[in-house]
Chains A and B, each alone.
Chain A
Amino acid sequence: MSAAPIDLPRWADTALVPLVSVAAALVIAGLVVLGIGESPLEATALLLRGALGSAEGISFTLYYTTNFIFTGLAVAVAFHAGLFNIGGEGQATIAGIFAALACLWLAPLPGVLLVPLAVLAAAGGGALYGLIPGWLQATRGSHVVITTIMFNFLAATLTVYLLVEVIGKPGSMQPETAEFASHAILTPMHRLLAPLGVKLPATPLNSAFLLALAALVAVWALIFRSRLGYAIRTVGANPGAAAYAGISPARITMVAMAISGALAGGLAVNEVMGVQHRLLLDFTAGYGFVGIAVALMGRGHPVGVALAALLFGVLYQGGAELSFDKPAITRDMVVVIGGVIILFAGALDGLFRRVVASLLRIGRGD
């Protein structure tokens, strides 16, 4: 049992602890693979080859990475304000509805106007759906965690209703909207890079990836370089000190939840506007929850989030290829790994800090 907090050098705290916990999570995943009668080493080789062994594989990997960057950043921003936003799924769902409505209703506009407007609509929808739980916590004292859980289900039910009864494609049995016009979608990466002489295979990777990279930089500047970020971190670390400093914790709770929701909306931009080109059920596919793992592993820092998102991108794409060769190892393996990483890098952080501290002691020879 650890009574005193464990003091680690900063590099160990920010890099070594997450690395060790991720390594331990992968070992557990290996044991599961072994348990269902497959070879973990062979599986790893197949996975890495599938994710990084070809231009196509890498493109797919980066497409998944895009989703994880957005959802990871969403969770990370809320973390900095001391909030746990489990509502990424719901916020992305609402963002998807907003984006789809923009793409369908504003179709007469030219693409240069329509696409940015639809992206803004997605961000706005996500922000609004994050803002409400934030507002409820700030003014009514209901806890963001429970509210966002409930909001995830509400968003899912709302989408079913809309797609079945209101905006579904007429005459279709599938609960989905009509396909967006060809100028209302994000440019696929292979077409974007073709004029530059880069030839890529056609994959779902699209310009939302660039947006995700921009979001990484923007979040870094926001959290670590801006006055608002200072206020957010102060509220997260010590709400009493924030009030003393003239920062309203209630206002920051709302602002941070709105920013978090807007970032989660990036998932809808990538999936709805970049890949599916229509709104369909469950397009969020659990990315919002994996975002929690990404944020925890990345220690809330955009650089860490980028690396963690890339890891999950590799796992997702490699996992898809792997399940092709080894049907027993389905994509659900990644969910397990995500769960174990959340457990290790999040809830059992204390244990892993202890482990790393003793490793360092052994390393120093005392």
Chain B
Amino acid sequence: MTAQSAPAIELSGISKRFGPVQANRDVSLSVAAGSIHGIVGENGAGKSTLMSILYGFYEADSGEVAIGGRPRRIRSPADAIAAGIGMVHQHFMLVETLSVVENVVLGAEGGAWLSGGVSRARAELARLAQDYGLAIDPDAIVGELSVGFQQRVEILKALYRGAQILILDEPTAVLTPPEADQLFSLLRALRDQGKTVILITHKLREIMEVTDRVSVMRRGEMVAHLATSETSPPELAEAMVGRRVLLQVEKAPRPRGAKVLEAIGLDLVDARGVALLSGVNLTLHAGEIVGIAGVAGNGQSELIEVLAGLSHPSRGVVRLGGQILSSADRNPACLRKLGVMHIPEDRHRTGLVTAFPAAENSILGYQDDPALGPGPFLSPSTIAARARETFAAYDVRPPDPELKTAKFSGGNQQKIVLAREIERAPKVLLVGQPTRGVDIGAIEFIHRRLIALRDAGVAILLVSVELEEVMALSDRILAMCGGRITGERMAEAADERDLGLLMAGVTEEAA
């Protein structure tokens, strides 16, 4: 160690608590200067919190930070910037109405008047464009740039501030595979110029591809520090989850039943004219789970929304039980009556009203059910009694329908949604990210329930960004890329590499 230079970053004993949640517990980390260091962990493992502490966004409850061997107190982003740390957030910190150069100089204007700083920034941007191939029009309005270019602006912001250490939080979540490859070669170039890069991700492929060392986090703790060349995806996965993960779901083969739902030629165009879905064809049979594999943002969410009646396709038809759905039927209320139920991908934004007591959430979407009260009224006692029953059946803890929904854990909130949607005998169940932010026990419970529904003859469409989940649960897998279905595989015949190609848009014809 003595011969080497001091580590770029040395964290020791970092702890951080948000109310009842221990986000980081006694975390230590050492990142060598001039390396690419990966940090992996499941959603909620505490990676982002740790990096926010390093960037001064939060202050740690305890622990120490040393940058380049010198102890530092980083209490604000300004301190972090002064220490040579730059961060590319998962949600870009850009001002969309301002130009690229204005975004770059923001906070580093170099004087009360803008003109001097802006011309310096132009020169610097030109230099960075040459050094790293990061060409960009400095006068473009950021809001009009593509996501990939916006990320480039974020990186340029950090470099303009003289960052020696660059932290990237889930940078590929919004990128296409070619854009991600470009990013990785940029990161390598930065490393070769002596910069230190920290890459936060939950995708093992990226870790294996680009990092030198990797640290694994689980439930707020650091559980492993490994050299990338000496580890393997299964080892990392095991460290992330704490046991063998290759999701083993008990699933007996089952002959699929009749066609239940059929979508033909679905197109969806957003207000700006961007095509979100193009020519999607899809058939769901009774007693079958069809999984959609795809990188987030490739039309999976939109497909579910269209099928659930939340948005209207610009073209195409949906048949339910052989009948073409009229546009009047294509709204969530009517579809529910026809047996199309929906477990939405984001329970906080759509699936629940977290300010309501749990009982009131157990009727969300079914508020017009005549069994819930006389005429225009709802009967709280009926609703509470029914909720108590289902909570017991689904092991919702605590089984208290009067408790505010926000006070339940993620897994129990998801069970409230699950119970509500599957208690009413769906014919078709649309499921988005069923286990996002859910603890292991609840994951197993939810998976078993979905399999049981399939065995009972329900047609299930499953969307998940976790490819393993899609592969473990589905009978048939469709890959999506750029709003198109790029391929179809029977689950037993599918392998990760093959699906990965389809998800990247390499279709059968092209391959």
Q: In the complex, is A directly touching B at CB under 8 Å?
A: yes
- Bitwise, B240-279 to A at CB < 8 A (1) or not (0) is 0000000000000000000000000000000000000000
Asked whether, in the complex, the Cβ of A244 is within 8 Å of the Cβ of B367, the reply is: no
Asked whether, in the complex, the Cβ of A237 is within 8 Å of the Cβ of B353, the reply is: yes
Asked whether, in the complex, the Cβ of B336 is within 8 Å of the Cβ of A238, the reply is: no
A244 surroundings in chain B (CB, below 8 A): 308, 310, 332, 342, 344, 350-351, 364-365
- Bitwise, A1-19 to B at CB < 8 A (1) or not (0) is 0001000000000000000
Interface residue stretch chosen among B2-10, B31-39, B44-52, B371-379:
B371-379
Decide: A243 near B310, CB < 8 A? Known: A227-B377, A227-B378, A238-B349: yes
Asked whether, in the complex, the Cβ of B364 is within 8 Å of the Cβ of A241, the reply is: yes
Decide: A243 near B350, CB < 8 A? Known: A227-B376, A227-B378: yes
Asked whether, in the complex, the Cβ of B356 is within 8 Å of the Cβ of A246, the reply is: no
Residue of B19, B352, B367 with highest tally of chain A CB at under 10 A: B367
Is A233 engaged at the interface, CB distance under 8 Å to the other chain? yes
- Bitwise, B356-392 to A at CB < 8 A (1) or not (0) is 1000100111011000010011101000000000000
- Bitwise, B429-443 to A at CB < 8 A (1) or not (0) is 000000000000000
Asked whether, in the complex, the Cβ of B356 is within 8 Å of the Cβ of A226, the reply is: no
Is A245 engaged at the interface, CB distance under 8 Å to the other chain? yes
Asked whether, in the complex, the Cβ of A238 is within 8 Å of the Cβ of B353, the reply is: yes
Decide: A227 near B353, CB < 8 A? Known: A4-B18, A246-B333: no
- Cα A226 to Cα B377 in complex, Å, equals 4
Q: Which residues in chain B, 452-508, are within 8 Å of chain A measured between CB atoms?
A: none
A227 surroundings in chain B (CB, below 8 A): 367-368, 373, 376-378
Decide: A226 near B376, CB < 8 A? Known: A243-B350, A245-B364: yes
Residue of B18, B352, B376 with highest tally of chain A CB at under 10 A: B376
B344 surroundings in chain A (CB, below 8 A): 244
Is A221 engaged at the interface, CB distance under 8 Å to the other chain? yes
A231 surroundings in chain B (CB, below 8 A): 367
Is B355 engaged at the interface, CB distance under 8 Å to the other chain? yes
Is B30 engaged at the interface, CB distance under 8 Å to the other chain? no
Min Cβ gap B181→A in Å is 34
Is A270 engaged at the interface, CB distance under 8 Å to the other chain? no
Is B331 engaged at the interface, CB distance under 8 Å to the other chain? yes
Is A149 engaged at the interface, CB distance under 8 Å to the other chain? no
Residue of A228, A230, A246 with highest tally of chain B CB at under 10 A: A246
Min Cβ gap A356→B in Å is 18
- Cα A12 to Cα B124 in complex, Å, equals 57
A237 interface neighbour in B309, B350, B355, Cβ under 8 Å = B355
A4 surroundings in chain B (CB, below 8 A): 18-19
B349 surroundings in chain A (CB, below 8 A): 238, 240-241
Among residues of A, the one whose C-beta sits closest to the C-beta of B406 is A5
A221 surroundings in chain B (CB, below 8 A): 377
B353 interface neighbour in A226, A234, A243, Cβ under 8 Å = A234
Is A200 engaged at the interface, CB distance under 8 Å to the other chain? no
A238 surroundings in chain B (CB, below 8 A): 349-350, 352-355
Min Cβ gap B59→A in Å is 11
- Cα A347 to Cα B158 in complex, Å, equals 37
A245 interface neighbour in B19, B334, B365, B378, Cβ under 8 Å = B365
Min Cβ gap A256→B in Å is 15
- Cα A228 to Cα B373 in complex, Å, equals 12
Is A247 engaged at the interface, CB distance under 8 Å to the other chain? yes
Is A326 engaged at the interface, CB distance under 8 Å to the other chain? no
B365 surroundings in chain A (CB, below 8 A): 244-246
Is A143 engaged at the interface, CB distance under 8 Å to the other chain? no
- Cα A98 to Cα B193 in complex, Å, equals 77
Number of interchain pairs (Cβ within 8 Å): 71
A225 interface neighbour in B19, B331, B355, B380, Cβ under 8 Å = B380
B18 surroundings in chain A (CB, below 8 A): 4
- Cα A246 to Cα B368 in complex, Å, equals 10
- Bitwise, A218-229 to B at CB < 8 A (1) or not (0) is 000100011110
- Cα A306 to Cα B6 in complex, Å, equals 69
- Bitwise, B321-342 to A at CB < 8 A (1) or not (0) is 0000000000111101000001
Asked whether, in the complex, the Cβ of B380 is within 8 Å of the Cβ of A241, the reply is: no
Among residues of A, the one whose C-beta sits closest to the C-beta of B363 is A230
- Cα A237 to Cα B406 in complex, Å, equals 12
Min Cβ gap A363→B in Å is 21
B351 surroundings in chain A (CB, below 8 A): 241, 244
Asked whether, in the complex, the Cβ of A246 is within 8 Å of the Cβ of B377, the reply is: no
Among residues of B, the one whose C-beta sits closest to the C-beta of A228 is B376
B333 surroundings in chain A (CB, below 8 A): 245-247
- Cα A155 to Cα B334 in complex, Å, equals 41
Decide: A226 near B355, CB < 8 A? Known: A241-B349, A244-B310: no
Min Cβ gap B373→A in Å is 7
Asked whether, in the complex, the Cβ of B342 is within 8 Å of the Cβ of A230, the reply is: no
Asked whether, in the complex, the Cβ of A240 is within 8 Å of the Cβ of B350, the reply is: yes
Asked whether, in the complex, the Cβ of B350 is within 8 Å of the Cβ of A246, the reply is: no
- Cα A227 to Cα B352 in complex, Å, equals 17
Asked whether, in the complex, the Cβ of A234 is within 8 Å of the Cβ of B378, the reply is: no
- Cα A247 to Cα B377 in complex, Å, equals 16
A243 surroundings in chain B (CB, below 8 A): 310, 332, 350
A230 surroundings in chain B (CB, below 8 A): 360, 363, 367, 378
Q: Which residues in chain B, 18-32, are within 8 Å of chain A measured between CB atoms?
A: 18-19
- Cα A245 to Cα B367 in complex, Å, equals 8
- Cα A143 to Cα B200 in complex, Å, equals 40
Asked whether, in the complex, the Cβ of A246 is within 8 Å of the Cβ of B376, the reply is: no
Min Cβ gap A164→B in Å is 44
Among residues of B, the one whose C-beta sits closest to the C-beta of A242 is B353
Min Cβ gap B18→A in Å is 7
Q: Which residues in chain A, 121-150, are within 8 Å of chain B measured between CB atoms?
A: none
Min Cβ gap B367→A in Å is 5
Residue of A227, A238, A240, A244 with highest tally of chain B CB at under 10 A: A244
B310 surroundings in chain A (CB, below 8 A): 243-244
- Cα A233 to Cα B367 in complex, Å, equals 12
- Cα A234 to Cα B308 in complex, Å, equals 19
- Cα A240 to Cα B350 in complex, Å, equals 5
21 residue pairs of the A-B complex, CB under 8 angstroms, read: A4-B19, A225-B373, A225-B380, A226-B377, A227-B368, A227-B377, A227-B378, A230-B363, A230-B367, A233-B356, A238-B354, A241-B351, A241-B364, A244-B310, A244-B342, A244-B350, A246-B331, A246-B336, A246-B365, A247-B333, A247-B367
Known A225-B373, A233-B353, A238-B350; 4 more pairs at CB < 8 Å: A228-B376, A237-B356, A244-B310, A244-B365
For the complex of A and B, 5 pairs with smallest distance between CB atoms: A246-B333, A246-B332, A245-B365, A244-B350, A240-B350
Residues on B facing A (Cβ under 8 Å):
18-19, 308-310, 331-334, 336, 342, 344, 349-356, 360, 363-365, 367-368, 373, 376-378, 380
Residues on A facing B (Cβ under 8 Å):
4, 221, 225-228, 230-231, 233-234, 237-238, 240-241, 243-247
